[in-house]
Amino acid sequence: MNKRFFGLIISAVSIIIGLIIYIFNIQIIAMSNVFFILGLLLVVIGAVMIIAKGHLFTGWRIFHRKGDNERFENEKIPAKEIGRKKNESIVINDFAKLFLTVGIIWILIAILITL
């Protein structure tokens, strides 16, 4: 199944759930807040996935406590290798696209509910 189609199905199901909640006379503002928070969470997860796939976490140092003699073999990475990895193109995978689209749709639904 196509990831974009799957995202649209998730969004349609969320709209149906919102309508069912509205029929049962639950507070609209509470429903809007839930959609907005979940949308923000999905957007943040999608952004972290993009940053992680783009090697933008490369070169972060591992800090040790005083007296800790244990060192990792891959702790020191040469600067040229860090630069080469960071200069690669940023890859946006399908799950990041899915999380971003569903998150943005849920945020827009939350905004439209409160209008």
Q: Where are the domains of the chain?
A: 38-61+74-115
Of 92, 96, 91, residue with least CA distance to 7: 96
Percent of the chain whose pLDDT exceeds 70: 69
Q: Which of 1-15, 53-67, 81-95 has the lowest mean pLDDT?
A: 53-67
pTM of the predicted structure, to 2 decimals: 0.68
Residue 74 clears pLDDT 60, i.e. is over it: no
* Comparison of pLDDT for 51 and 36, the residue scoring more: 36
Residue 87 clears pLDDT 60, i.e. is over it: yes
pLDDT value of residue 10: 78
Residue 99 clears pLDDT 80, i.e. is over it: yes
